[in-house]
Amino acid sequence: MSDYRQVIMTQVLTDCRARHVLCLNAEARALLQNLPKELHPLSLRQHRAGEFKERADLALLYGRPTGQSDTALRQLLAEARDLLARHVLIFLNEADSQLIHPDALGYTQLAQHDSGMCVWTFDILTYKQVPDWLNARFWANPENWGHYRW
Give Rg (Cα) of the chain: 19
For residue 142, CA distances in Å to 51, 75, 130, 147, 148 come to: 48, 44, 22, 10, 11
Contact status, residue 108 vs residue 122, Cβ threshold 8 Å: yes
Antiparallel, parallel or unpaired: β 40-43 and 20-23 = parallel
Per-residue pLDDT, 74 = 94
Contact status, residue 65 vs residue 28, Cβ threshold 8 Å: no
Q: Is residue 149 part of a domain?
A: no
* Number of structural domains in the chain: 1
Q: Calculate mean pLDDT across residues 126-149.
A: 70
* Portion of the chain with pLDDT greater than 70, in percent: 87
Contact status, residue 12 vs residue 87, Cβ threshold 8 Å: yes
Q: What is the CATH number of the domain that holds 70?
A: 3.40.50.150
Q: Is residue 15 part of a domain?
A: yes
Contact status, residue 13 vs residue 57, Cβ threshold 8 Å: no
Give the closest residue to 76 by CA, choosing from 117, 51, 47. 47
Give the closest residue to 12 by CA, choosing from 2, 23, 3, 21. 21
Q: Is residue 44 part of a domain?
A: yes
Tens digits of per-residue pLDDT, 28-42?
888 888 776 677 777
Q: Is residue 112 part of a domain?
A: yes
More confidently predicted of 117 and 32: 117
Which structural domain range is residue 138 located in?
A: 3-144
- State pTM to two decimals: 0.79
Cα-Cα end-to-end distance for the chain: 60
